[in-house]
Amino acid sequence: MTKVHNFSAGPAILPQSAIDASIEALQNFSGTNLSLLEVSHRSKEYEAVVAEAVQLVKDILNLSADYEVVFLQGGASLQFDMIPMNFLGSGQTAAYVNTGVWAGRAIKEAKMFGTVNVLASSEDKNFNYIPKDYTIPADAAYYHCTSNNTIYGTEMFEFPKSSVPMICDMSSDIFSRPFDASQFDMIYAGAQKNMGPAGTTLVIIKKSLLEKANEKVPTMLNYKIHIENGSMYNTPSVFAIFVCMHTLRWIKSIGLEAMEIRNKAKADLLYAEIDRNSLFVGTVVPEDRSRMNVNFVLKDKNLEADFLKFCESRNLSGLKGHRSVGGLRASLYNALELESVQALVNAMQDFEKVNA
Ligand X SMILES: *Cc1c(COP(=O)(O)O)cnc(C)c1O
10 or 282, CB closer to ligand X?
10
Which range in 24-32, 58-66, 132-140, 169-177 contacts ligand X by CB under 6 A? 169-177
In the chain, how long is the greatest CA-to-CA distance?
Answer: 64
Does residue 207 have an active-site annotation?
Answer: no
Does residue 66 have an active-site annotation?
Answer: no
Letters for 2-21 (x = contact with ligand X by CB under 6 A, - = none) are --------x-----------
- Indicate the burial class of 292 (C-beta count within 10 angstroms; 0-12, 13-18, 19 or more): buried
Which range in 16-24, 154-162, 168-176, 245-253 contacts ligand X by CB under 6 A? 168-176
Q: Would you count residue 165 as binding ligand X (CB under 6 A)?
A: no
Letters for 59-88 (x = contact with ligand X by CB under 6 A, - = none) are ----------------xxx-----------
The one catalytic residue in 169, 173, 185, 288 is 169
260 Ramachandran zone, left/alpha/beta (phi>0; psi -120 to 50): alpha
Q: Would you count residue 169 as binding ligand X (CB under 6 A)?
A: yes
- CA angle 143/107/232 to nearest 5° reads 75
Shortest Cβ 152–ligand X spacing (Å)? 10
CA dist 155 and 299 (Å) reads: 23
- CA angle 96/161/117 to nearest 5° reads 20
CA dist 36 and 238 (Å) reads: 8
10 or 327, CB closer to ligand X?
10
Shortest Cβ 294–ligand X spacing (Å)? 14
Q: Would you count residue 331 as binding ligand X (CB under 6 A)?
A: no
Shortest Cβ 198–ligand X spacing (Å)? 7
Q: Would you count residue 172 as binding ligand X (CB under 6 A)?
A: yes
Size, binding site for ligand X by CB under 6 A: 12
CA dist 345 and 136 (Å) reads: 41
Shortest Cβ 106–ligand X spacing (Å)? 8
Shortest Cβ 77–ligand X spacing (Å)? 3
Q: Choose among 100, 69, 322, 110: nearest CA to 200.
A: 69
The one catalytic residue in 193, 206, 250, 266 is 193
150 or 247, CB closer to ligand X?
150
Does residue 266 have an active-site annotation?
Answer: no
Letters for 178-217 (x = contact with ligand X by CB under 6 A, - = none) are ------------x--x------------------------
- Interface residue list for ligand X (CB under 6 A): 10, 75-77, 102, 146, 150, 169, 171-172, 190, 193
Catalytic annotation, residues: 102, 169, 193
